[in-house]
Chain A
Amino acid sequence: MFSFDLLANGLVAGILLGGFYAAVAIGLAITFGQLDIVNIAHPAFVIAGSYAAWILNSRFGLDPVLIGVMVAPVFFFVGAAIYRIYYAAFERTGQESLSGLAFFFGVMFIIEVVLILVYGVDYRLVSAGYIGDTIQVGVVGIPLRMLVPFAVATALTAGIYLYLSRTFMGRAILAVAQDRLALQLMGADPVRIKQFAFGLAIATTAIAGSLLIIIGPVEPSVGRLYIGRVFAIVVLGGMGSIPGMFIAAMILGVAESLVATFMGPSWAPAVAFGLLLLTLAIRPSGLFGRQ
């Protein structure tokens, strides 16, 4: 069944899928990778982002991506507020490991239940002019439903990377990830920096959510399907490395797509996670992690 057409299409589909995975995982690369916060509720925030896109798309006909960008500041403040609660209740008292995990489990359930109570459990979808269209480049067909999320995810990743590496606040976030005490000794407030970083991470979920609902239907509990995958991407990328996360997402996307094309889709997760184990066996700190 092997053919060049299939290989080319499988590769392109994998890269596009990887881009989407990167958009979902980038926030977690900040919270889990850099801030050491096991935010298990991350996919639930993504679903909340999808619901925001659905509400504004169905009421006002706005483009889902535009909605994602518009509501990102709201998500930022929600994220910052949640970090404050997390800090006051757990981090300050040194109970962040187990109790903090339980806290984020709770946040996840609260988000799901609120969505169920307010909007019900029916599947939600959005309309946009590009959904359903495909552009043909030679033998490769590129569905816009996947291309738009890829383009937005790439821009988002580049933006976050530049922000973290070129701005004062960005460098402060990287510094707090490396040595909180040293930062404190230099007169900076690590709690404020972490609060900002957590808000930034949650803001990215608004955009990721809008991309998810472009690709397929969403219901309140669908985020759970992504928990394993996004954590795997962050670990594979090297815990907090943004370029590493992006490449890891690409590897996972391409592996899934090629395996689904040539071996059968049921092998895709096994091969993708096998790849993760293999990488970690060779490089325990991930692709771009510090040794």
Chain B
Amino acid sequence: MSDALKGFLQMGGRALGALIVAFALATVADPAAAQKKPIKIGFSMALTGGLAGAGKAALIGMEIWRDDVNKQGGLLGRPVEFVYYDDATQPAKVPGIYSKLLDVDKVDLVVSSYGTNEIAPAMPIVMRKKLVFPSLFGLAVNEEFKYDRYFQIMPSGPEPKTDWSRGFFELAMAQKSKPRTIAIVAADAEFALNAAAGARENAKKFGLNIVYDKTYPPATTDFTPIVRAIQATNPDIVYVGSYPPDSTGMVKAANEVGLKTKLFGGGMVGLQFAAIQKNLGPMLNGIVNYDFWVPEPTLNFPGVNEFLAKYKAAAKDKGVDPLGHYLPPFAYAYLQVLGQSVEAVKSLDQAKLAAHMHQTTFDTVVGKVKFGKNGEWARSRVLFVQFRDVKPDNLEQFAGPGKRIVLHPKEWKSGDIVYPYKQ
């Protein structure tokens, strides 16, 4: 090595050393710089497996919130950073992920994964650390835990099990030719079983005679035998609690068998997803199903259209729901609730955050959100919408109003029911 090169390297080394010392001194001397440390929000998310379609769409919504917040200077002047892991739609993975987030990654705040089955396993860990736990679309998760720092963004209401289907029954009972009998069919899985249990309670409350009440395993391929068995009992209304592939199978089977009933639908997950809507097309007409947000004029909340425009651009070519009406606005909103609370209490103190979240009505892209004592929405806003005038093979028709008419609750109603159900 030449002397000139040696000298150059020595000088470079000294300069680097000086730079490190200067940086360390500046960091110690300037607490403001130390405070710029990002606020880490940790969560698990279903990015592969059965719920990945929804999980990935939710993540896009969450990332839009993070970018929006960071553009406005972050939370408490600190940038927001996500630390997340794929739970592969396997509940067994969730406890390990939250332990790692809290003990190894040392996140400041946690939020839940998507869906009842993925939220429940995180509860014991989050509860042990006494953290606030904004959660995304869990049905009646807190019924057993009774955790006072749990805040659930799905608008199922204070009594989630029964509130979930109450609107469906109120609609049916408000018709001139009142139904007398009901068939209830649900998937053999946590959410659908809860939905069916709530429907059963509502059926009893409204004096309906349950003539068919069965569950089916998640791997069911053909639904025509189930629909025929239901038809054989001649029910006035049919309540279905199902997941996306089953919902598709059930709707197709109902059309193929020619199901004759007055009201058909209820708790079918998947009929809110654009790809499935496009494929089923006119087979959807007349079905009355739950939803949480649809592009009807009565639900035009401040910020929701701007959010959806960003989502549409971000979701393009990512193989997720291209319209994102169902979950993404709520994924954005549950972080809005958390973010607004952090700014309001000006700290990450979990007790203060929880107290604030219990007291406040939040303005979000999904409307005003107020939590009740058990962490569910203080008032239910489960919408019951009816598919109308759906044309075949057209995705864009679902982007605007007129295809999913809000029938219930009255406050958000955008049209009247077509009754009885006709194919």
Contact = CB atoms under 8 A, between A and B. Distances in A.
The answer on A and B forming one complex is: yes
B256 interface: yes
Given A13-B222, A215-B222, A217-B244, A122 B53 contact: yes
Contacts of B393: 127
A160 interface: no
Interface in A109-132: 112-113, 116, 118-125, 127, 131-132
B225 A123 contact: no
Nearest to B273: A123
Contacts of A145: 252, 256
Contacts of A5: 232
A260 interface: yes
A269 B89 CA distance: 23
A1 B232 contact: yes
Contact of A125 (B47, B226, B276): B276
Contacts of A122: 53, 273, 275, 319-321
B22 interface: no
Contacts of B106: none
A112 to B, nearest CB: 7
B275 A123 contact: yes
B145 to A, nearest CB: 27
A9 interface: yes
A139 to B, nearest CB: 11
Contact of B221 (A112, A127, A141, A215): A215
Contacts of B229: 1, 6, 260-262
A141 B254 CA distance: 12
B191 to A, nearest CB: 16
Interface string B223-252: 011101100110000000000110011001
A64 interface: no
A262 B141 CA distance: 33
A5 B232 CA distance: 9
> Which of A14, A121, A123, A222: most chain B Cβ within 10 A?
A121
Nearest to A134: B256
Interface stretch (B5-13, B209-217, B342-350, B351-359): B209-217
B283 to A, nearest CB: 6
A127 B221 CA distance: 18
B276 A217 contact: yes
Ranked 4 nearest A-B pairs via Cβ = A120-B319, A265-B216, A121-B52, A125-B279
Given A20-B221, A123-B275, A260-B229, 19 more contacts: A5-B232, A13-B225, A116-B48, A120-B320, A121-B48, A125-B276, A133-B256, A134-B256, A219-B52, A219-B53, A220-B48, A225-B219, A226-B219, A258-B225, A261-B225, A265-B214, A265-B215, A268-B220, A269-B219
23 contacts: A6-B232, A10-B225, A120-B318, A121-B47, A122-B273, A122-B275, A125-B248, A143-B224, A143-B253, A216-B245, A216-B248, A217-B275, A219-B245, A221-B89, A225-B218, A257-B225, A260-B229, A264-B214, A264-B215, A265-B220, A266-B214, A268-B217, A269-B217
